């Protein structure tokens, strides 16, 4: 993520999450409690990594950066310190909170925020409701646009393979991703991680067809839907990547982007043949 040879560090600013998405194991792991460090302490830890170890790429590992005045205070704390222009901060944030804190985005960017990952998940509001996401698809559109306007790398996560998923609904996700046009898109297969509500429901109804936990990586399809076989879900996952990254306009835009992180990421993906690897998953027993 940081680029080869770039010193990096992971800093934990919070544990748990205030939300309770049905497919997420993290909020259950932490007992449904969101525990926070103060913005000052987080900035202190980033400063220590920056000065002591030369860390320039900082991944704030919070499952959700969160709502409230945390963003504003955190930006102020970072700006108090003598970081150079080479500090690059990555964090995970909800679409609705990005919108709510849009007035703080310029300050966060000035303070070193380069990359935001958001769980967009679906183009369908009914699917988002079934996941208990608490957002609407239109909020993803606004959030991505706000990040772009502020020069912040936009990373969108999508999920396919919900029980009600169809070939058409997945085509709608692909079209939505192309319309949204984030700097980086990751498509995942809905995975019933043990301990999640999705797992309990799938286990009770006999939907799980792959019990090999080494395949629970969100790249392997684990379950069929009502209308698609497991292998069809796997193929649709490849189609999502092929459709989004198969565009030469998008490829060239990534390879020659003004944003250094975007250039590095697209060159890495092409060098590693990431899309081809998803195609290969269709051809092997899983």
Q: Contact, 96 vs 139, CB < 8 A? A: yes
Distance of CA 216 to the CA centre of its chain: 17
In a domain, 96, yes or no: yes
CA dihedral 225, 230, 231, 234 (to 10 degrees): 80
In a domain, 97, yes or no: yes
Give 165 or 4, the one with higher predicted confidence. Answer: 165
Q: What is the pLDDT of residues 119-176, one digit of tens each?
A: 999 999 999 999 999 999 999 999 999 999 999 999 999 999 999 999 999 999 999 9
Q: What is the CATH number of the domain that holds 143?
A: 3.20.20.70
In a domain, 56, yes or no: yes
In a domain, 3, yes or no: no
* Overall number of domains in the chain: 1
In a domain, 2, yes or no: no
The three-class DSSP label of residue 15 is strand
d(CA 27, CA 45): 24
Q: What is the pLDDT of residues 165-221, one digit of tens each?
A: 999 999 999 999 999 999 999 999 999 999 999 999 999 999 999 999 999 999 999
In a domain, 95, yes or no: yes
**The pLDDT of residue 202:** 97
**The pLDDT of residue 285:** 52
Q: What is the pLDDT of residues 270-280, one digit of tens each?
A: 777 778 788 88
Alpha helices in the chain (DSSP H): 26-29, 39-52, 70-80, 95-100, 105-111, 125-130, 137-149, 167-180, 197-205, 230-245, 248-255, 260-272, 274-282
Distance of CA 212 to the CA centre of its chain: 24
Domain containing 61 equals 8-281
In a domain, 286, yes or no: no
CB burial of residue 278 (10 Å; 0-12, 13-18, 19+): buried
Beta bridge pairs of residue 88: 57
**The pLDDT of residue 3:** 67
**The pLDDT of residue 260:** 77
In a domain, 193, yes or no: yes
Distance of CA 240 to the CA centre of its chain: 15
Give 18 or 173, the one with higher predicted confidence. Answer: 173
Q: What is the pLDDT of residues 216-272, one digit of tens each?
A: 999 999 999 999 999 999 999 999 999 999 887 888 888 888 877 788 888 878 777
**Cα separations in angstroms, 264 against 11, 23, 115, 261:** 23, 31, 13, 5
| DSSP per-residue codes, 18-75 | S---TT-SHHHHTTT--EE--HHHHHHHHHHHHHHS---EEEE--S---STTHHHHHH
């Amino acid at each position: 993520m940081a680029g080869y040879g770039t010193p990096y560090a992971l800093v934990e600013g919070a544990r748990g999450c205030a939300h309770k998405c049905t497919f997420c194991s993290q909020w259950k792991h932490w007992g449904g409690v969101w525990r926070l460090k103060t913005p000052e302490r987080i900035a202190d830890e980033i400063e220590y990594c920056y000065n002591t170890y030369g860390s320039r790429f900082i991944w704030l590992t919070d499952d959700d950066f969160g709502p409230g005045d945390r963003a504003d205070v955190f930006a102020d704390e970072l700006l108090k310190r003598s970081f150079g222009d080479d500090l690059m901060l990555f964090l995970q944030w909800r679409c609705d909170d990005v919108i709510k804190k849009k007035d703080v985005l310029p300050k966060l960017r000035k303070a070193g925020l380069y990359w935001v990952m958001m769980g967009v998940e679906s183009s369908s509001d009914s699917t988002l409701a079934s996941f208990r996401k608490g957002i609407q698809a239109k909020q993803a559109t606004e959030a991505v646009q706000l990040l772009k306007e502020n020069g912040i790398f936009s990373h969108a996560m999508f999920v396919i393979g919900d029980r009600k998923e169809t070939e058409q609904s997945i085509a709608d996700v692909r079209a939505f991703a192309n319309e949204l046009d984030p700097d980086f898109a990751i498509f995942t297969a809905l995975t019933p991680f043990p301990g999640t509500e999705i797992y309990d429901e799938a286990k009770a109804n006999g939907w799980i067809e792959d019990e090999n936990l080494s395949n629970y990586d969100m790249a392997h399809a684990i379950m069929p839907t009502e209308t698609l076989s497991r292998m069809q879900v796997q193929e649709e996952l490849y189609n999502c990547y092929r459709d989004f990254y198969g565009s030469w306009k998008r490829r060239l835009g990534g390879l020659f982007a003004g944003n250094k992180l975007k250039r590095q990421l697209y060159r890495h993906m092409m060098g590693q043949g990431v899309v081809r690897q998803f195609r290969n998953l269709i051809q092997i027993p899983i």
